[in-house]
Structures are given as C-alpha cells and as structure tokens.
A and B are shown apart, each in its own frame.
Chain A
Amino acid sequence: ETGVTQTPRHLVMGMTNKKSLKCEQHLGHNAMYWYKQSAKKPLELMFVYSLEERVENNSVPSRFSPECPNSSHLFLHLHTLQPEDSALYLCASSHGTAEAFFGQGTRLTVV
C-alpha cells in the first residue's frame, strides 16, 4: 500500500463508451501525475498537475481529459478510445524532489 489509490483496477470499455479513472492520495503531496504504460514499454508521462494546475500535457490526444478538483484527487476522463489505448494507466503523487508514490494502476482494455 503506497498511499495512492486508483480505481477501478480493471476496466473494459467499448470505443463509444465514456468512463473515468480515479486517483486519490492523502499524503499531502502537491503534484499528481498520469502515466500510460503499454505492454513491455516504458512509462509515458501524460499529464502533470501541480497545486491543482496542469503544468504538463505531453501531446496527449483529446480523447483523454484530466481533471484535478483538489490536491488529493485526480481523474482521467476517457471517451471514444481506440484499441491502441489499451494499457496500464498509472497515477503518482510527489512533493518537491522527494520520492514519488505510485498507485497500483488501472488495466484498461478497449474493445
């Protein structure tokens, strides 16, 4: 248990569905991150939020929409995804240069 909780752990969705991934931390961290990791590939940084403001959007398609309503919660809203979006989606949080804590991830399958 890292203190970063992601839900759901597994998600299967059709290409026309809309779903949301949720991440929650109560570690007092001021930065939160979304990563995508496809099979046997490195982590790809998608979004970074610092003090609830988005500071990084790494050329992610608009079908992925992040939301950070407060410093403890981070969402990734998904709509009209493609099969190639199937991957492990990881959330992390950190404070300054200190270690980042990762959630267990959401295994997403787009059918």
Chain B
Amino acid sequence: LAKTTQPISMDSYEGQEVNITCSHNNIATNDYITWYQQFPSQGPRFIIQGYKTKVTNEVASLFIPADRKSSTLSLPRVSLSDTAVYYCLVVGGGATNKLIFGTGTLLAVQP
C-alpha cells in the first residue's frame, strides 16, 4: 500500500481558498487518490476521488500531476464549518481495499 504524507495542521480564514497537499511517492498504476473529511466524534465523509489531472465537484477540486506522486485538495472559500481533519488515502484497484487512514491534516478556519 502506498504511504501518504500530509501536513499535520493548517490555519486559514473564512473566505480563503485552502490547498492541502499529500505526497504518495509509491503510488501504483491501479491506485486512486481519495480524500475524506472528519468532524469530531463522527465517521469520515468522502469528499473527492481522482486518478489523474483534475477532478472537481460541488465541494472541492483535486489536482494530480502527471507523475501522480502527489495530489492537492483545494477547498474554495472556506467557512468555519470546514474546520475538520482531512485525510488523503491511496485506494488500490483490487477487489478489497484496506482503507488505511494516516494522521490527516487538521484544518482550522478562523473568522
């Protein structure tokens, strides 16, 4: 399984764009990059998933360079309610994924 590395924490202010970068140097050909958000005392919630280039949904964008060894989650115009832990996972293309969560990035949004 490809190991992921992300910053432990980040600070931002309301209305700003936040970019969280994750490195996954050992990503395999069949792996996808997936991001989850977790609030205290709740289960993680899926945000976005991508394989290469750029993916955008109503919540975020995911940028993946050609070598796929890193990815950047972009949250446009964050609000206080975006304060949470964000996890980057590499998900294999096999029948079962172990879904290993790392330490994640604690994003603190201030007014």
Contacts and interface: CB of A to CB of B under 8 A. Distances in A.
B104 A104 contact: no
Interface of B: 32, 34, 36, 41-46, 49, 91-93, 95-104
Contacts of A4: 43
A98 B97 CA distance: 10
Interface string A34-45: 010000001101
A92 interface: yes
A2 interface: yes
Dominant SS among interface residues on chain A: strand
Interface residues of A, number: 28
Nearest to B92: A97
Given A48-B98, A107-B41, 12 more contacts: A2-B45, A35-B101, A43-B44, A48-B96, A55-B96, A90-B44, A94-B99, A100-B36, A100-B44, A101-B46, A102-B45, A105-B42
Nearest to A2: B43
A88 B27 CA distance: 30
A61 interface: no
A33 to B, nearest CB: 6
Given A45-B101, A56-B98, A102 B44 contact: yes
Contact of B43 (A50, A92, A99): A92
A96 interface: yes
Nearest to A101: B46
A65 B99 CA distance: 20
A82 B42 CA distance: 23
Residue among B36, B95, B104 with the most chain A CB within 10 A?
Answer: B95
Contacts of B98: 45, 48, 56
B80 to A, nearest CB: 20
A105 B99 contact: no
Contacts of A33: 99
Contacts of B99: 33, 45, 48, 92, 94, 100
